[in-house]
Amino acid sequence: MQAHNNVDLTPLNTLALPGKATRYLKITAPEQLAAPEIANEPRFILGGGSNLVVTGDVDRLVLHMAIPGKRLVKEDADAFYIESGAGENWHDFVQWTLQQGWPGLENLSLIPGTVGAAPIQNIGAYGLEVGDCLQSVTAWDFEKRAFFPVDRAGCRFAYRDSLFKQEGWHLNGRVAITSVVFRLPKAWTPNMAYADVTQELAARQVATPTPQDIADAIIAVRRRKLPDPAVVPNTGSFFHNPVVPADQAAALKAAHPKLPCYPQADGRVKLAAGWLIEQAGWKGKDLGPVGMYEKQALVLVNRGGATGDDVKRTMAAVQADVRDRFGVALTPEPIFL
Ligand code: EPU
């Protein structure tokens, strides 16, 4: 097992930001994580690099999670249980489950990144979050030097959040997710809570959609709105949709009747960050080489040659304008390395 020195991280993050890893090791089997020679090095766990802002050179051992493998582990009267290695590509995994006749993940089609990274920020789209379909996660704990399972409740999933995103877990490389098991119920019903999806299916004249029809509709919607990271480097939504107290949302709605508001179970209200950013004048606007995408203002894009500092500058300018105009704080979705 040979670590490489001074590895360029530009092709390994979807914002294409420059930075070198002092040491880099590709992990293709869980046992590699237990090697004594990497036990005490400061480290960072890298997945698909699609939720990451590289801010410069990284003086750590970067462990690139590339563990492959996907299989049906169990089937009972109610559900299929599917296991995937952390390094599998998320979208390919979703399409494979659909081809096998195990629906349930179709609403999460075309999200960039790896299966192992999906639970960390509890990826979600079109009315579904990965935590809704997850049975358990297996991770290696570098401090306890042991693999440990975490069930769904233990993952403490919330909106774009989980146990693994907490300081001291993922961020300092304490744990590395090695595999994930999904529970996909046999009783399938289409999840079409989103107008974007129902409209796309209507346009395709699909009245009773199959899981693959829903996947295809979502792929089409995403391709229309969101830039392909291979063409225009980005990390998807750059900010969380802010969740504010009900009275603040009511005051904002009174002043701005078109503001999209989504009431939450706890009484608070989620606001559409993309709308706030667009109204603040940032849709399609750049500051240096970094701007907000012209078809979806929540997506920060690298127009070419940007560095982590350029990203921080645009981020701060957008945050300041939205705060000044609406009194709402925007927090970034990606992890800063
Ligand atoms: N909107 C605007 N202007 C914009 C962008 C959006 O007015 O430039 C408005 C839309 O018209 C709509 C509302 O804001 O009324 C919400 O927009 P959209 O449906 O595009 O979704 P979003 O809230 O911006 C969230 C997720 C996405 C996910 C979509 C679909 C977050 C931070 N983002 O985006 O997730 O794909 O919903 O479910 O929750 C990601 O996290 O990287 C991501 C892409």
Task: Write the pLDDT tens digit of every residue in 274-332.
Answer: 999 999 999 999 999 999 999 999 999 999 999 999 999 999 999 999 999 999 999 99
d(CA 15, CA 5): 22
Q: Higher confidence at residue 7 or residue 171?
A: 7
In this prediction, residues 165-170 reach a mean pLDDT of 74
Distance from the CA of 286 to the center of ligand 1, in angstroms?
Answer: 19
Distance from the CA of 17 to the center of ligand 1, in angstroms?
Answer: 24
pLDDT on residue 2? 83
Distances (CA, A) of 177 to 64, 143, 144: 11, 14, 14
Q: Is the dihedral of CA 114, 154, 124, 44 positive or negative?
A: negative
Could you tell me how far CA 64 lies from the centroid of its own chain? 17
d(CA 30, CA 160): 26
Quick one: which atom of ligand 1 is closest to the CA of 296?
8
| Structure-block tokens of residue 296 | 């979806």
pLDDT on residue 171? 62
- 180 beta partners: 84, 137
Rg (CA), the chain: 20
Between helices 90-100 and 211-225, what is the axis angle to 10°? 160
Strand order in the sheet with 134-141: 70-75, 79-85, 175-185, 134-141, 146-151
Residue located nearest, by CA, to atom 16 of ligand 1? 272
Quick one: which atom of ligand 1 is closest to the CA of 123?
41
Residue located nearest, by CA, to atom 9 of ligand 1? 275
Distances (CA, A) of 102 to 54, 69, 95, 186, 218: 36, 17, 10, 8, 18
E-strand stretches of the chain: 4-8, 20-27, 43-46, 52-53, 58-65, 70-75, 79-85, 124-125, 128-129, 134-141, 146-151, 175-185, 234-237, 243-244, 261-263, 269-271, 286-287, 290-292, 299-302, 335-336
Mean pLDDT, rounded, of the chain: 96
Element (H, E) at 222: helix 211-225
Q: 180: closest CA among 109, 108, 114, 106? A: 114
Best mutation site among 275, 292, 293 for ligand 1 pocket (most ligand atoms within 8 Å of CB): 275
| Structure-block tokens of residue 7 | 């590895």
pLDDT on residue 211? 98
Distance from the CA of 274 to the center of ligand 1, in angstroms?
Answer: 6
| Structure-block tokens of residue 224 | 């229309």
**What residues are in contact with ligand 1 under a 6 Å CB criterion?**
125-126, 225, 236-237, 240-241, 260, 272, 274-275, 278, 283, 296-298, 333
- 330 beta partners: none
pLDDT on residue 168? 67
Any idea which residues carry the catalytic annotation?
160, 237, 333
| Structure-block tokens of residue 106 | 């179709």
Task: Say if residues 283 and 225 touch (Cβ distance below 8 Å).
Answer: no
Q: How confident is the model at residue 134 (pLDDT cuts 50, 70, 90)?
A: very high
Quick one: which atom of ligand 1 is closest to the CA of 293?
8
Task: Give 75-129 pLDDT, tens digit per residue.
Answer: 999 999 999 999 999 999 999 999 999 999 999 999 999 999 999 999 999 999 9
DSSP-derived pairing of the beta strands 175-185 and 79-85: antiparallel
d(CA 174, CA 52): 18
Distance from the CA of 103 to the center of ligand 1, in angstroms?
Answer: 24
**Tokens 């890893």, residue?**
21
pLDDT on residue 193? 83
